[in-house]
């Protein structure tokens, strides 16, 4: 949950009131942008993230931060309206996800960071698709230093999907993801468009190499040494199979390209 109690130059409640009363007007866009800049510049923070995670948030860029603020507004406003109507305080995840996607799309269109034809445009400008998994389509042009990804959500809500990018960046800054826009693919799935450093793959990492890498970051195997899922004090780290962890051709070290990261919640 975003902290509204800090002595900020801009109170987040002002941002939320503008979204509620004015939609994504020019003033609302400016307010979100200004609050985002306050986060980037260290004038405020989001209370759920520690210092390392906050660095991951900043690495994800202003567009992700703005979308995360919109997602938080969507969730809290839905919780408030549901409570008012029925006395229930916990709307279903699908309801939260549906509203978050709708509102982030509205905000992205108003901010001119929505692409209606992202797949075609990316392939023609940045190169062909080199990989496709459950979570991302990856595009790359020879000799570029970055790949472009269309990343969909395999999380319960869009807010949690954006949160996972933040947490990935905190754990693996060498492959930090930076969100540049949003789209829907040909199947209608909401996708974040992001860049990520290109890693030359010497080979896929072995299980013991992945174990060693995550142990240094405070994680232990969550399945008695037999799985690809790990647990730390604050986070779950999942889907750490060799296709998501390469041995970098330059550093000769294990590098995580993609995984599932979630807060441990009660």
Per-block average pLDDT, block size 10, for the chain (266 residues)?
Answer: 46 93 96 95 90 95 97 94 64 95 97 89 82 84 89 91 96 96 89 94 93 94 80 93 92 93 88
Give pLDDT, residue 88.
61
Give pLDDT, residue 188.
86
Domain that holds residue 215: 201-263
- Residue 27 forms part of a structural domain: yes
Q: Based on the domain organization, do 187 and 251 belong to the same domain?
A: no
Closest CA to 214 of 234, 240, 196, 233: 240
Q: Based on the domain organization, do 137 and 171 belong to the same domain?
A: yes
Rounded Cα gap, residues 203 and 253, in angstroms:
10
Choose one of 47, 82, 112: the last residue of a domain.
112
Q: Based on the domain organization, do 122 and 134 belong to the same domain?
A: yes
- Residue 91 forms part of a structural domain: yes
- Residue 4 forms part of a structural domain: no
Contact 255, 204 (CB under 8 A): no
Q: Based on the domain organization, do 81 and 134 belong to the same domain?
A: no
Choose one of 55, 86, 112: the last residue of a domain.
112
Contact 190, 71 (CB under 8 A): no
Give pLDDT, residue 247.
95
Q: How many domains is the chain built from?
A: 3
- Residue 6 forms part of a structural domain: no
| Buried-exposed string 74-93: b where 16+ CB fall within 10 A, e elsewhere | bbeebbeebeeeeeeeebee
- Residue 3 forms part of a structural domain: no
- Residue 218 forms part of a structural domain: yes
Give pLDDT, residue 234.
94
Choose one of 95, 112, 129: the last residue of a domain.
112
Give pLDDT, residue 24.
97
Q: Based on the domain organization, do 75 and 142 belong to the same domain?
A: no
Give pLDDT, residue 233.
93
- Residue 137 forms part of a structural domain: yes
Rounded Cα gap, residues 130 and 86, in angstroms:
49
Write down the pTM of the prediction: 0.90
Residues 6 or more apart from 86 whose CB is under 8 A from it? none
Q: Based on the domain organization, do 105 and 192 belong to the same domain?
A: no
Q: How far is CA 226 from CA 129, 175, 241, 257, in A?
A: 32, 26, 11, 21
Radius of gyration over every alpha carbon of the chain, rounded to an integer in angstroms: 19
Q: How far is CA 31 from CA 19, 71, 90, 169, in A?
A: 10, 15, 28, 26
Rounded Cα gap, residues 107 and 237, in angstroms:
31
Give pLDDT, residue 3.
47
Residues 6 or more apart from 124 whose CB is under 8 A from it? none
CATH of residue 167's domain is 3.30.200.20
């Amino acid at each position: 949950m975003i902290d509204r109690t800090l002595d900020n130059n801009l109170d987040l409640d002002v941002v939320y009131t503008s979204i509620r009363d004015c939609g994504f007007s020019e003033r609302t866009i400016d307010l979100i942008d200004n609050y985002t800049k306050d986060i980037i510049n260290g004038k405020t923070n989001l209370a759920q993230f520690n210092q390392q995670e906050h660095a991951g948030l900043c690495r994800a860029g202003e567009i992700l931060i703005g979308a995360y603020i919109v997602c938080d507004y969507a969730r809290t406003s839905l919780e408030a309206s549901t409570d008012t109507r029925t006395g229930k305080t916990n709307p279903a995840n699908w309801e939260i996800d549906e509203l978050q996607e709708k509102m982030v799309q509205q905000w992205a269109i108003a901010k001119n960071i929505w692409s209606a034809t992202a797949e075609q445009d990316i392939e023609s400008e940045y190169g062909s698709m080199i990989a496709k998994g459950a979570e991302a389509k990856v595009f790359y042009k020879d000799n570029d230093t970055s790949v472009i990804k269309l990343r969909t959500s395999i999380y319960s809500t869009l807010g949690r999907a954006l949160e996972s990018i933040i947490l990935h960046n905190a754990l693996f800054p060498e492959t930090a993801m930076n969100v540049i826009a949003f789209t829907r693919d040909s199947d209608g799935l909401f996708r974040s468009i992001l860049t990520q450093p290109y890693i030359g793959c010497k080979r896929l990492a072995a299980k013991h190499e992945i174990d060693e890498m995550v142990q240094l970051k405070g994680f232990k195997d969550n399945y008695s040494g037999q799985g690809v899922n790990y647990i730390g004090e604050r986070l779950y780290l999942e889907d750490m199979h060799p296709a998501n962890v390469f041995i970098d051709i330059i550093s000769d070290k294990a590098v995580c390209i993609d995984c599932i990261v979630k807060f441990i919640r009660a």
